[in-house]
Structure 1
């Protein structure tokens, strides 16, 4: 199989990444609906709908904003504005969705944590999307730096690069298995599973960014890495509580 890879149906070239991206949203949402039906949800349907809307709006804004910050010096033109609108990143979507949820909960007066039901659907959705990123090769800025390691792959430009999308697929598989084991083995408080997921995924992305050919840096870090730091600071109280509980034991 040659990368970048696109399906061809009845002589029409199909954007595989775009198809998988929409498929990721659909399957992840259906998985969430299944989990909500099979688990006791402490949040009523009206408030849950408000939370989902808040998450969607926050994710939309966050994904575009962080996508812009990855390439902030884009020339102002109609074509570039359209490209900018289509530029998005899952990291901005996750953190923007988190802020959108918190804002929605404040507006409706909801006190219960709401993220745990989203954890496994999010992981599944990211996994499907990353398959699309890998098949897109250098057409999507998810590829790695040139490398001489045994993991190097030709992603479409004739150079051997780190297949960072494949690395992420392996990590997501491990994360899914680990979080399921934690959820089944420990009595977690409501909302803690989501926090562990966010800290784990953002920690992984902080590290994997060093393998990507980023251009724009602040304090020696890319915009994605800065967002990872912000996320860890956001959950600093939770991290402190985990460390304190370990010391007590």
Structure 2
């Protein structure tokens, strides 16, 4: 599989970067439609998105580099080469959350409302971006018998679980589910975002059992540890905010 999409003179454009940047743009324009619908300041929203993306990407890269420090210590020039792959989603989530919260406060946007608007589109962006892993031939699973797993993909000399495909499909379903629930259910403000954290963490915990390139801390798969932590935090926040009546009654999509 050729990771290069096309070249323009000395410029080489890789599928990984093309898909991720396209996913971000689709996510932004999709979310911005509902920002406009809700009468929020679009310029301030764009500023929040830009800071969230910048810090999120830096967090995703830093997280990946930290857990592969022996390699990057020997190849320091590769630290900035994100077009070769190596963005850890949990680092991106942590960085993006911090940047999103602080920038929402700075630009006077409600954090929970903004997070609700963004979360379905983050799931859609992830569904698209995961195909960058396909073109980079990374983030795949263990070798399997193609007669048992007929949808296995031939990667790195063997038929393997296409874990990037599993996650992409799940993320797409999460996007559709969140859009539906926000229109039809009694979710309170902030719960679409928290539901996204629960949904993504659940599938990531499962997928890590199949992957061969998990970031490890001793014998622990860090993605599984972070997934459990995020699920506990998200569920606790839903219960706490409902118990204390901290959440507004309606979310951004079903508020007309």
TM over 0.5: yes
Output one character per residue of 1:171-207: Cα deviation in whole Å (capped at 9) or x when no partner.
1222122222211221222211011011110221111
| 1:56 alignment partner in structure 2 | 53
Q: 1:242 to 1:221 in 2, by over 3 A?
A: farther
Offset, 1:111: 5.1
Runs of 4+ residues over 6 Å off in structure 1: 9-13
What TM-score comes out, normalization by structure 2 length?
A: 0.77
- Name the stretch that deviates more: 88-97 or 50-59: 50-59
| 2:165 alignment partner in structure 1 | 166
Offset, 1:75: 5.0
Distance across 2 between alignment mates of 1:10 and 1:70: 34
Equivalent residues, number? 236
| 1:184 alignment partner in structure 2 | 183
Distance across 2 between alignment mates of 1:99 and 1:10: 37
Distance across 2 between alignment mates of 1:6 and 1:60: 21
Distance across 2 between alignment mates of 1:108 and 1:200: 29
Q: 1:238 to 1:9 in 2, by over 3 A?
A: same
Q: 1:119 to 1:185 in 2, by over 3 A?
A: same
Question: For the Cα contact (< 8 Å) 2:197–2:234, is it kept in 1?
Answer: no
Distance across 2 between alignment mates of 1:47 and 1:215: 37
- Structure 1: state its 5+ residue gaps: 245-249
| 2:93 alignment partner in structure 1 | 94
Q: 1:122 to 1:204 in 2, by over 3 A?
A: same
Offset, 1:237: 2.2
Question: For the Cα contact (< 8 Å) 2:208–2:214, is it kept in 1?
Answer: no
What is the SS of the residue equivalent to 1:202?
Answer: helix
What is the SS of the residue equivalent to 2:231?
Answer: helix
RMSD: 3.2
- Structure 2: state its 5+ residue gaps: 244-256
Question: For the Cα contact (< 8 Å) 2:105–2:111, is it kept in 1?
Answer: no
Offset, 1:242: 9.1
Offset, 1:5: 5.8
| 1:247 alignment partner in structure 2 | none
Q: 1:158 to 1:121 in 2, by over 3 A?
A: same
- Name the stretch that deviates more: 191-200 or 20-29: 20-29
Distance across 2 between alignment mates of 1:239 and 1:155: 42
Distance across 1 between alignment mates of 2:180 and 2:214: 38
Output one character per residue of 1:110-166: Cα deviation in whole Å (capped at 9) or x when no partner.
5552201112221221121112222332xx3x1111122314634432201100011
| 2:71 alignment partner in structure 1 | 74
Distance across 2 between alignment mates of 1:49 and 1:18: 21
| 2:126 alignment partner in structure 1 | 126
> 2:82 aligned with 1:83, yes or no?
no
What TM-score comes out, normalization by structure 1 length?
A: 0.79
Question: For the Cα contact (< 8 Å) 1:55–1:100, is it kept in 2?
Answer: yes
Q: 1:155 to 1:69 in 2, by over 3 A?
A: farther
Offset, 1:4: 5.0
| 1:143 alignment partner in structure 2 | 140
Q: 1:76 to 1:126 in 2, by over 3 A?
A: same
